[in-house]
Amino acid sequence: NRTYCSLHCQVIDLVNNSLTSRLLICIPILFGSFFNYSQPAPIHFKGDQTSLKGEWNLVMNDFLSLDEVKKSTESVSIEVPGTWNDIDWKRKIIGSFGYGTYFREVVIDNNSSSANLSIEVPEVSIAYQLYANDQLLGNVGKPGKSKSETIPKIDFKVFDFKANPGDTVTLIFHI
């Protein structure tokens, strides 16, 4: 059996309650392929649509805080969209089950006009929590370290957060 997760987010820059620009995050995840560890360059949000597809960091078997993410030396780079089924984590293939932390930095351009951002996460077929830095933006279901701790849920959500021009925001998904 395989567990599939499809995650698609969209960050919307709101100015005076009108849509002025978007940051598009497309993260279909079919829990597998991996790459050797290397810290991907931050994504630069310039107020237009910007895809966050590409390399993300993944730490298996842990739900990391922002401080732990910044100190992490054991993550692997994973192509998103992608799967984690074939990841060699500490000399063991993970397979389709497990839990972990995905993270990636986004730099808000100095010329960005708004600090009010939203992340739209359409239906995802697994539980997750979403953080912008250490701020919990929200969750769908409850990700857990075991089947008994996990409460799966599928739901469409929009999460709001603030980021100033020039800020670096670390997006963290506990899945």
Q: How many helices (H) and strands (E) does the chain have?
A: 1, 11
Q: Is 77 helix (H, G, I), strand (E, B) or coil?
A: strand
Are 31 and 83 within 8 A, CB to CB?
yes
Q: Give per-residue pLDDT as tens, 2-24.
A: 333 334 444 444 443 333 333 33
Place of tokens 């919990």: 136
Q: What is d(CA 153, CA 68) in angstroms, rounded to the nearest whole number?
A: 27
Q: Give per-residue pLDDT as tens, 117-134.
A: 777 776 766 899 999 999
Q: What is the dihedral of CA 162, 164, 166, 168, to 10 degrees?
A: -20
pLDDT of residue 48: 59
pLDDT of residue 44: 65
pLDDT of residue 26: 39
Q: What is d(CA 73, CA 163) in angstroms, rounded to the nearest whole number?
A: 26
DSSP structure string for 18-57: EEEEEEEEEEEE-----B----PPPEEE-SS-----EEEE
Q: What is d(CA 40, CA 76) in angstroms, rounded to the nearest whole number?
A: 10
Stretches where the chain sits below pLDDT 70 are 1-51, 113-115, 122, 124-125
pLDDT of residue 18: 38
